[in-house]
Amino acid sequence: MIKNILFINTGSGWGGLEAWFYKTSAALQQRNYRVFILAQNDSKFYNKSIEKGFNVTGIDHIGDGTFLNPFRICFLVNYLKKNNIDAIFLAQSSHFKYGSISGKLAGTKKIIYRRAIAKPIKNKFYNRLFLKYFITDFMSISKITRDMNLKDIPEGVLDESKQKLVYKGVKKDNFLNPEIKSDIRKEYSIKDNELILVNIGRLCRQKAQQYLIEALPEIIEEHQNFKVLFVGKLGGKEDEYIQRAKELGVEDKIIFTGFRKDIPSILKQADFMVHTAIYEGGSPWVILEAMMAGLPIVSTRAITIPEFVEDGVNGYLAEDKNPTDIANKIIKMIENKDRSQMGKKSAEIAAEKYTFKKMIDNIEEKIFEKKNYDE
């Protein structure tokens, strides 16, 4: 029986991985598991975990060579034994190597390697060794991510029984009927007859909002009544994007909101989402959140996106880095009289597969092999 669970993360910042560890730890604690955390001293993850009441211990950063350090291995083996740890969650490649060796030496029941990035694992002898003999579960957040991860790993190294698909989950109630924090139309002077297109994500190379901006002139040739909200932290691209919008004469169609905490409220008021990323490592939160909120989606394919946005069902897929194709798909969505039905389909898919509760249930059932979990 799995009771004591350890999450190891020595990242200094706060991103999707830290948020997933934190939220998942809290949910499992509510289901009467004892949660232990090993984190870098005074990191945001370390401090928030202490505030939440987890059993937190500070450790030095885990690097690529840490698994070769016998003193670090000895520390973790002793820690696992002392605290009777039943399961370890590992995410980064360096943590996978360090944690899987230590867990194997300590006799830990479950050594879980969760991969949330769609990049191949290097076909190194030690990676093959750890995957075949040390870890007990290889946890993927999408089918495409799993296939990309194992692309270079020879068949037979990672037994299929170890491969567990556990999608990320969104808290359903936060997006179905959210409190409207601010009337977006009033706040940004958007007319009642103007559609609200929303793009959520930090302004950066990966999210590639420039391709949406460059698509606008072609959209304007067909339709004028819309505004595009760019919602997210300024990632060093805002000045470049503003200048590009001025060059194209589309600045009056664009609103940069900066970082917002009221994403559910904004999604509730938008007509559809436009996502133009050139790369997504796993399953983007913003796509799952938009689906849960009942929005149809226009997105670039971005490796993993087709697993979540089905072309013609709950949205349209455009070619990456192609403003003309992005414009065509946006025009198609604007002109789609059944757009609301696409949004309903998004919500149906999300409610069936991508709720936070479903994710925690799957961890208990697929990873911990618990047949009858308590709510």
Average per-residue pLDDT for the chain: 94
Could you tell me which of 225, 215, 208, 194 has the C-alpha nearest to residue 329? 215
Q: What is the arithmetic mean of pLDDT over 145-161?
A: 96
Other residues' Cβ atoms within 10 Å of the Cβ of residue 303:
20
Prediction pTM value: 0.91
Q: Model confidence over 120-145: pLDDT tens digits?
A: 999 999 999 999 999 999 999 999 99
Spatial distance between the Cα atoms of 223 and 130, rounded to a whole number of angstroms: 56
- pLDDT of 240 > 80? The answer is yes
3-state secondary structure 214-254: HHHHHHHHHCCCEEEEEECCCCCCHHHHHHHHHHHCCHHHE
- pLDDT of 372 > 70? The answer is no
Sheet holding 254-258, edge to edge: 254-258, 226-231, 195-200, 272-275, 297-300, 315-318
Q: Model confidence over 28-73: pLDDT tens digits?
A: 999 999 999 999 999 999 999 999 999 999 999 999 999 999 999 9
- pLDDT of 282 > 90? The answer is no
- pLDDT of 344 > 90? The answer is yes
CATH topology of domain 4-169+355-367: Rossmann fold (3.40.50)
Could you tell me which of 143, 262, 266, 147 has the C-alpha nearest to residue 199? 266
**Percent of all residues in the chain with a pLDDT value above 90, rounded to a whole number:** 87
> What is the per-residue pLDDT for 373?
45
Strand-pair partners of 272: 197
* Residue 334 pLDDT level (bands cut at 50, 70, 90): very high
> What is the per-residue pLDDT for 195?
98
Per the model's pLDDT, the better-predicted residue between 207 and 114 turns out to be 114
> What is the per-residue pLDDT for 226?
98
Q: What is the arithmetic mean of pLDDT over 94-107?
A: 98
> What is the per-residue pLDDT for 229?
97
Q: What is the arithmetic mean of pLDDT over 259-266?
A: 95
- pLDDT of 98 > 60? The answer is yes
Residue 209 sits at the vertex; the CA angle it makes with 208 and 215, to the nearest 5 degrees, is 115
> Is there a common fold for 4-169+355-367 and 173-353?
yes
**Percent of all residues in the chain with a pLDDT value above 70, rounded to a whole number:** 98
Domain ranges, ordered by start, for the chain: 4-169+355-367, 173-353
> What is the per-residue pLDDT for 325?
98
- pLDDT of 375 > 50? The answer is no
Q: Which of 116-120, 145-149, 271-275, 317-321 has the lowest mean pLDDT?
A: 116-120
- pLDDT of 374 > 50? The answer is no
CATH hierarchy code of domain 173-353:
3.40.50.2000
